[in-house]
Structure 1
Amino acid sequence: MIYRFRIVLDNDSEDDIFRDIEIRESDSFEDLHNTITQSFGFDGSEMASFYISDDEWNQGEEISLFDMSDGINKTKLMGNTTLKDLVHEDQTKLIYVYDFLSMWTFYVELAEIVEEAEGTDYPNLMFVHGQVPDEAPEKSFEAENLDDFNDYEDDLDIEDYDNLDFDENWN
C-alpha cells in the first residue's frame, strides 16, 4: 500500500507552504525524513525527530533520527521503525522537527492510503506549493500566562541569603 502525506511547514506568513508525497507503507521513518528534507530543499544533515500527534496536534511519542538517550529511556529510531508500525487510518498525524537549532517544524498528515501504481517510483513528490523561506519561522516559547512559571511558588526571596536554607561555604 502507498501512503499519501501532506507536509505543511509551520510558518507565520499568510502563504501556505506544503508538499504532497507518496511513500510505501513498508518504508521507514528515515525514508520519510529523507523525502521531506529533499522535497523542501534541505541537505538532511541536521538532527530531526518525528512525534506522534493527536487530532489537536499535541506532541506525543518521539521517533528520533539517532539514539540520543542515556540508555535508560529507549527511543524509537527512524531507521528501525516502519511507517505502518505507527501510522494508519486511526493515527494520521505526525509532527516533524528538523534542525533543533532552527526548529523547522512541519505538520505531517496521512491524506489517504492507495494501491501502488505500476510504473511509479516511490517515494514520489506529487505536488509542491510555496517557497521555503531562507530562515526558519520564529518560534515563541513564552508561557500563555506568566503564572504558569510559578507552579512551585515557595515564598522565598532569592535575594535574602540569610534566610535561605543552605550553607554557602559547603566546599
Structure 2
Amino acid sequence: MDYAGAFCVTTGFGVEQKAKFFEENNDDYSSIMIKAIADRFAEAFAEYLHKEIRINYWGYTKEENLSNEDLIEEKYRGIRPAPGYPACPDHLEKKSLWELLNVKETIGVKLTESLAMWPASSVSGYYFANPEAKYFGLGKIKEDQLISYSKRRGISLQNAKKWLSTNFAE
C-alpha cells in the first residue's frame, strides 16, 4: 500500500523577539545560537513526525529500529521532499500545501511575498511512503518545458521563469 501526505511544523514563534533581545544587549552570539537551535528543532520536529507516521500512524514500518546514523543517512522507507528543494524546485507549491492543510489558520505559519515561511524555523513538505521513492534533482529545463509548465500551472511565462530560475537552461 502506498501513502502520501503533507505537513508543516514550526518551532519559530518567539524566536525573533528573543534574538532581538540578545542583539539589543550586544550578545550577537546568543542571537545567532537561538536562531540556529530553533532551526535544528524544526528539522528534528519534521523528522520525528515522519518517524511517527511511518511507525504509528500509517504503520508501514512498525518494526523500524534505526540508529541515529541510519536516520541521518535516510535508510528508512519513503522520502520527505519539500517545495523549493531540488526534487520540488517550485516554491509556488507551498501555496497548495497551505491551502490543503489550512496552515495559517491551524498553526499560524504564514508565507511571505517571496514564499518564505514565517516564522523562520518552520519546515513544510510531503511524505511519500513508497519503498521505491527516491530523491532526485530536477536538473535544467529548456524554454519549451517552461512554456508547457506555465500553461499547465496557469501562470505567466515570466512568473514561471521567476520561480524556476535556478532550473532554467538559457
Please confirm whether the aligned pair reaches a TM-score higher than 0.5, indicating the same fold: no
Higher strand share: 1
TM-score of the two chains, using structure 1 as the length reference: 0.26
TM-score of the two chains, using structure 2 as the length reference: 0.26
Higher helix share: 2
